[in-house]
A = this chain, B = another copy of it.
């Protein structure tokens, strides 16, 4: 490889903290280029900043726009083997036009027309679905048909076969979250095609999946079922339970007891019933309920988050950006960007009008590798 076609390009520049620009330095840099070497002293500011300075930026996607474009795609883009899914992903403005909501997280709206099937496949990428509105699609995971309704959260750890079927006469949309960018940068991905068609026996819509019948009983573990694969064996976390857990926390607070994150701010984390840890090895998922007229503390955390407004409306502030948000809107909080929420103040303070935020993050990566930090400002 000659210098001229080396991918390394080094410029000797006059700057504090940089060596004097001399012919010798220029010669040294040509030697570096030739040998594919880059000195630390020209790069340290970018590589080793005082604190995380994300390549991503805060950004908001409006649900109505996503839904409109997804519906358009429903009309003209078929679903089938090869493309696999009618999924349309958020591309953070400063990540080079790649379909990465944040440097580690993928988020897409998926759309299935009446009677359509998305063919079976499996991949090492950890995934979930969350339903902000609609119903009628079920996901078959390892032969277990899991219904999808508003508010339901369906985690699905890597390397499980899965397909989707829309059993109704209406199209349905939901969001998919995956660790595609993380597995892309670490280069961990495997992918395999499954059956093109699921069996008739799987084309049923049970009220509850088999996984729920085994695992969705609080504090009860089936003795005979061994679960050793990564992630949660529970394939659906129904909204009914999430809603009640959040309401309970706010009621406890009103009675004077601990339970909420801060006044008026309840939150639950979806957890793996076999070990209490995160539902997916690389993704944490939470739901936050901010009662009417409440402003949360400002939090900065290592790692990035994607939020979707599940219900209610309010104002969110991420770094220098402030947006009014309402049902379905999605936004990202890059690493170490300050984040706070103010829910809309109502005339009454009934829970049903609170601002409910669905959130997912790469926090398990940071915690497992002991890289997590958090700062809260009140």
Residues of A within 8 A of B (CB): 1, 6-9, 16-19, 22, 24-25, 27-28, 31-32, 35-41, 43-44, 47-55, 59, 61, 65-66, 68-69, 72-73, 75-78, 81-99, 103-104, 108, 123-125, 158, 180, 182-192, 210, 213-225, 230, 232, 234, 237, 241-242, 244-245, 248-249, 251-252, 257-262, 267-276, 279, 281-282, 286, 302-304, 334-336, 362, 364-366, 368-371, 373
Contacts and interface: CB of A to CB of B under 8 A. Distances in A.
A61 to B, nearest CB: 7
A223 B261 contact: yes
B219 A93 contact: no
Contact of A41 (B83, B94, B98, B303): B83
Contact of A222 (B28, B268, B334, B364): B268
| Cβ-closest 7 pairs across A and B | A17-B82, A41-B83, A38-B99, A187-B335, A217-B245, A213-B248, A7-B97
Contacts of A244: 217
A34 to B, nearest CB: 9
A370 B272 CA distance: 15
Given A39-B88, A88-B32, A214-B252, A191 B49 contact: yes
A145 to B, nearest CB: 12
Given A222-B249, A245-B222, A40 B89 contact: yes
A87 B39 contact: yes
Given A8-B97, A41-B83, A69-B31, A180 B271 contact: no
A210 B252 contact: yes
A98 B46 CA distance: 11
A6 to B, nearest CB: 8
A158 B49 CA distance: 14
A276 to B, nearest CB: 4
A249 B223 CA distance: 10
A268 B215 CA distance: 10
A96 B7 contact: yes
B84 A41 contact: yes
